[in-house]
Chain A
């Protein structure tokens, strides 16, 4: 059974720091991995989608990597800003139903 873990559960950093969020999964048979952002009381915003054949994806200050063999993904945020404060979720997609299996998230606070 696929399990997704995100470490740390919470992170507080000063503005301007570069930071890394970690996601690990137990079954490497995935189709893709998606990183989401969730603001309090809001829905999920898709940040990056990495297909199983890809190693990384970039969007602006965000870079996500995927190492299927070790069951790990990282989300790198460069030059963090207070507006980056949110919960970041990773989810893997696999299996016959193509459902997303989510981690429990990392709550990020960027202090001005």
Chain B
């Protein structure tokens, strides 16, 4: 089944404790991105990747890192999480970076930082 998977689905952590949220897609998509969803603010892009070893900042990249060492995986790294990073996170992918292709979303990761 073609899908985008994220792990973990739920995570509660403490301020400053490094964490990684994994994202994997099995559709051979080149374009992948991360979004966060907050009440009243909607979904905002954190980082995106046009292809392997090609990543760039989105609208709200502060406090996050990403890597794209292989096509299928695009982990989101929080080196020192803070409470304002409590949010619902979504990974997304599309076949190519071109705007004509549909984007597919993972199930989301709900992160709470205390």
Contact = CB atoms under 8 A, between A and B. Distances in A.
Which of B42, B90, B94 counts the most chain A CB atoms within 10 A? B42
Nearest to B40: A104
Contacts of A97: 45, 48, 56, 58
Given A98-B31, A98-B98, A34 B42 contact: no
B103 A94 contact: no
A32 B100 contact: yes
Contacts, number: 63
B1 to A, nearest CB: 14
Contact of A43 (B33, B45, B106): B106
* Contact residues on A (Cβ < 8 Å of other chain), bracket: 20 to 34
Nearest to A105: B42
A25 to B, nearest CB: 13
Given A43-B90, A97-B58, A51 B42 contact: no
B42 A46 contact: no
B104 A104 contact: no
Contacts of B108: 41-43
A68 interface: no
Given A42-B108, A97-B58, A98-B31, A51 B100 contact: yes
A99 B45 contact: yes
Contact of B107 (A43, A93, A94, A104): A43
A97 B94 CA distance: 13
A71 interface: no
Nearest to A100: B103
Given A32-B100, A93-B99, 9 more contacts: A45-B105, A46-B102, A89-B42, A94-B99, A98-B94, A102-B42, A103-B42, A104-B41, A104-B42
